[in-house]
């Protein structure tokens, strides 16, 4: 959920530059790991751009973490 919120704020502030992931795939396929990070990040950004931002902004400004999480489950992860 923190990553979704982080990407949301990047969009809110019109950040359009490089981002990186905190990944150290020393035992994995390094190229494949970073490709997966980029693919997931791009997909989340696309989903966030279609989000009801007014409702989401209200939720993340509040104190009901579970309500915010359920909104993300429904609207981002389609659960």
Split at pLDDT 50, 70, 90, the class of 16 is very high
Contact 65, 5 (CB under 8 A): no
Residue where the block lists tokens 């915010």: 68
Distance of CA 49 to the CA centre of its chain: 11
What mean pLDDT is reported for the chain? 90
Domain extents in the chain: 2-75
With 80 as the cut, is the pLDDT of residue 34 above it? yes
With 80 as the cut, is the pLDDT of residue 37 above it? yes
With 80 as the cut, is the pLDDT of residue 79 above it? no
42-64: pLDDT as tens digits: 999 999 999 999 999 999 998 89
How high is the pLDDT of residue 55? 93
């Amino acid at each position: 959920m923190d990553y979704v919120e982080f990407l949301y704020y990047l969009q809110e502030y019109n950040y359009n530059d490089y981002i990186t992931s905190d990944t150290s795939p020393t035992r994995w396929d390094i190229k494949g790991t970073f490709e997966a990070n980029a693919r997931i990040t791009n997909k989340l950004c696309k989903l966030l751009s279609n989000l009801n931002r007014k409702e989401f902004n209200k939720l993340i400004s509040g104190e009901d973490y579970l309500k915010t999480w359920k909104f993300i489950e429904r609207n981002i992860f389609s659960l």
